[in-house]
Amino acid sequence: MKIQIFFYRVLVVALTALGLALATHAWSLRQELARRTAAPATAAVAAVNNADPALWRQLLRDREAAYFKLKDDYDRPQREMTEQSAPLAPPASPVSPTTNRVNRGESWLERLRAEDPARYQQIQAEREQRRQQRAAELERQLDRLGARWQAATT
């Protein structure tokens, strides 16, 4: 029993010493990193302050030219696609109102309501049943979470 207590004390002391050594090493690495990153930044600031404005203008023109060339290369396939595509011909047959509604993005349920009211009513009943099931499941979940919360606070 005494050997176990001694072993645990030695282990705690060793782990504490290791933790302190690692913390000291990490601190020294942070200081070195801060020193190394600060030196080039100050040199870069000094170089920027001493730079010739004509040089900066030339660099800006070069960057803009490279940007516009890249943008043109990126946009070229899209332009070629729009130039090559022929205008769409109007449909040969007259369009029915239901097809027109579908083409404008209206729901297939609206078309179904007009064409097959019995099937529409069945679908609506199933949707309502699923909605009620989801609401009941949500209530059960909230009750479970409330019970867990009460158990955790007591």
pLDDT in tens, 79-100: 888 777 655 555 555 555 555 5
In the 8-state DSSP scheme, what is residue 21? H
Asked whether residue 57 carries a pLDDT value surpassing 60, the answer given is yes
Torsion, Cα of 146, 151, 153, 154 (10° steps): 140
* Token pair recorded at residue 108: 């297939």
Backbone angles phi, psi at 67, to 5 degrees: -65, -50
Q: How far apart are CA 30 and CA 23, in angstroms?
A: 11
Confidence (pLDDT) at 103 = 54
Asked whether residue 147 carries a pLDDT value surpassing 80, the answer given is yes
State if pTM tops 0.75: no
Q: Where are the alpha helices (DSSP H) in the chain?
A: 2-50, 53-84, 97-103, 108-115, 117-153
pLDDT in tens, 87-137: 555 555 555 555 555 455 557 878 888 888 898 899 899 999 999 999 999
In the 8-state DSSP scheme, what is residue 11? H
Domain ranges across the chain: 1-30, 122-154
Q: What percentage of the chain reaches a pLDDT higher than 70? A: 79
Q: How far apart are CA 31 and CA 115, in angstroms?
A: 76
Contact 74, 81 (CB under 8 A): no
Confidence (pLDDT) at 131 = 95
